[in-house]
Structure 1
Amino acid sequence: MLGGLCAGAIVGLALLPLSGVVLGPEAQAFIPQADRTMKAIARVNRSSGRTQALQLELTMRVGERPAIARGQLITHPSGLARLELRGYGGRVDRYLLSGRELLGAKDGLRLDRPQPLLQPLFFLQPSSEVTLRAALESFEVLSDSIGLATCGEQDCFVIGDPRLAAPLPDPIPELEIDDGDVLEDPLVQGESAAVALGGILAEEVDDLVEAGLGSLEGPELVIAEDALLPRLWVDTEDLQVHRIDRASGVFTIFGPIVSFDKLMVPAWFEVHEPGAETIRFDVDRAVQVNAPPQAFSRKWLLAPSDPAQPDPEAIGESADMPRALR
């Protein structure tokens, strides 16, 4: 898109005539600071009712095929989440996310390499800039970097990718001053005072150099053009999270926001893993819940599954199951 950027939730942004993905200095100048953006995102999270533990009832699909499983996802703003999937024949898969650690189990038996079906949806839940920044940095997102890019038919602020950030302004050129333009300093009394002052300043500079503070330039951050970075994409229109990128190449895309009473959540989300079919979860119901820390324990992960069968209409053939549900 980038044909017109409107971010009404951030003060000072205006309509911009943009075109293409590569932005010029004029467009980049309108990108807000990262801290202001995160404050606005947190405000949207609060108004959407997502700042406490949420329970989502899901329908799972693989690729373009019919639904193959029912799911229940509980996500906590502290960074804990769990997902239970009930698939063909009553089989139960469970996933547990604690920070960046993902665990999985099939019918109570732990999986060595769980499929990345459970992603950090708690990025949609922080209630303040501080908690949002902490959540992002726990997943190694460069939270001080913000840029602008297209995301489908929308425009998005992208947090975590310096390659998309607004460039620094050009340095102010130094002015050339002739000797005749310099006026004597009336505060400097004689040549001896000037020499003494110069000596003091020289000593201070030497001290700074010895302390490692003599240079104002840090190491240049070089990021390859094709490098995969963890990033957060936020719609410029409503400041809702649109996409989450992981350094592994896995990314999650969120659908439009829908309302369950006063709770605003994405209508669906898709998990894209390199080399695998897209996994789509449709959100059938969403409620706020009380989820204590013990609800996210390994005891729950490895507990024997309830033999109750899911809705037969939501079950496909076993050949349609992703590898985690076969």
Structure 2
Amino acid sequence: MSARALAAGIASGSARAAAAIGLAALIGLDAAPARAFVPKPDRALAAIAQANLSSGRTQAIQLDLVMRIGEQASLATGQLVSHPSGLARLELRGSGGRVDRYLLSGPELLAAKDGEALANPQPMLQPIFLLQPSSQETLRVALESFGVDSRFIGVAPCGELDCYVFGDPALAAPAIHRLPSDASAADPGAGADAAHGLDAAAAGELDPADERARNAVIGRRGTLEIEPTIEPGRPIARLWVDTETLQIQRIDRDSGESLQLGPIVRFERLMVPAWLEIERPGEPTIHFDVKRAVRVNATPQAFNPSWLYSPIDPADPTSAGGSPPALASPAPSPVPTR
């Protein structure tokens, strides 16, 4: 099944949810139960992984970039290599000959400027590899490594789009856990007792502190999963995914940074965002335009920390650190897909 077909199947639930919300508003009822139409996290993760596969991103990829900060003109060119295992490296070359290198291994970020280690590197290299896992399980593990709790999924606007949002309990639909359907068959009196408990509670005959009364009501109606409390104002790690295309739109970090991804463009069979933007609290936005994208054969040695401090060849950025990843043939100009 294609990613678009999967998206259509999942999105049908969102359409029903929207209809339910409208109906609830019309008749003056609380619309919160409509959030239950949000797809199950595992199903959504599997569909997103399929979209990654269909986009040709499930092996190592290289992006050639042009960087600017805020409203300034272009400051540097860059080359980013990202591996679906969670490894990534970025080399930035400024007009004055300065070379900055960044290495990401899971959530750990290392950096060097002109071969000298940086103690507090800027968040130039974000987890682009979240666009690359090809299975539900590898995507789930990748999200967990960056603090995104994929058990929580909701729907929220993201710009002009609607997005599935993973990791935010405040946006997540509550999970309802019901007793097995044969519970009353196993105990013929259970259903009657539960019904009596509901009727008595409605009549005000039960003490709200009575644990047995609460259990009777829970047994009849099911229980709501308790959402963990989040400290107000604290950043939350979240993943935002377009409900229509299942392409990742935004990655929020619990450290406060946010990675925004542009519309998808095509370089031959490889589909990647047209641009990347890193937003930091109180700081100018870091913007990268993607000028070229290819799939590459990148070995683990290409992401060894020694690469940060290896000699720099001013004429050939791909030669830094010994043998570079093998590059595919140049791709034609990108064509927007939407």
1:38-49 to structure 2, matched below 5 A, reads 38-49=45-56
CA contact (8 A) 1:146 1:158 kept: yes
- Offset at 1:84? 0.2
SS of 2:239's partner is strand
TM-score when normalising by structure 1: 0.75
Alignment partner of 2:166 out of 139, 159, 184? 159
1:213-292 to structure 2, matched below 5 A, reads 221-292=228-299
CA distance in 2, matches of 1:75, 1:229: 24
Unaligned runs of 5+ in 2: 1-5, 23-29, 180-192, 198-222, 318-338
Of all paired residues, the percent bearing the same amino acid is 58
- Offset at 1:24? 3.0
Alignment partner of 1:149 out of 149, 153, 156? 156
TM-score when normalising by structure 2: 0.73
The count of aligned residue pairs is 264
AA matched with 2:39 = P
- Offset at 1:14? 5.2
SS of 2:147's partner is coil
AA matched with 1:112 = A
1:1-326 to structure 2, matched below 5 A, reads 7-8=7-8, 10=10, 12-13=12-13, 15=15, 16-17=18-19, 24-25=31-32, 27-168=34-175, 174-176=194-196, 221-308=228-315
- Offset at 1:163? 1.1
The worse-fitting range, judged by mean Cα deviation, of 165-174 and 283-292 is 165-174
AA matched with 2:196 = E
- Offset at 1:139? 1.2
SS of 1:167's partner is coil
SS of 2:297's partner is coil
Q: Deviations over 1:220-239 (max 9, x none)?
A: 62223433111111011101
Q: Deviations over 1:64-87 (max 9, x none)?
A: 221111000000000000000000
Structure with bigger helix share is 2
- Offset at 1:138? 1.1
Compare relative contact order (CA 8 Å, sep 6+) and give the higher one, 1 or 2: 1
Unaligned runs of 5+ in 1: 1-5, 178-215, 311-326
SS of 1:163's partner is coil
User: Pairwise CA RMSD of aligned residues?
Assistant: 2.6
Residues 9 and 69 of structure 1, relative CA distance in 2, 3 Å threshold: farther
Which structure has the larger Rg?
Answer: 1
CA contact (8 A) 2:11 2:244 kept: no
Residues 262 and 309 of structure 1, relative CA distance in 2, 3 Å threshold: closer
CA contact (8 A) 2:176 2:224 kept: no
CA distance in 2, matches of 1:250, 1:294: 28
**1:317 matched to which residue of 2?**
none
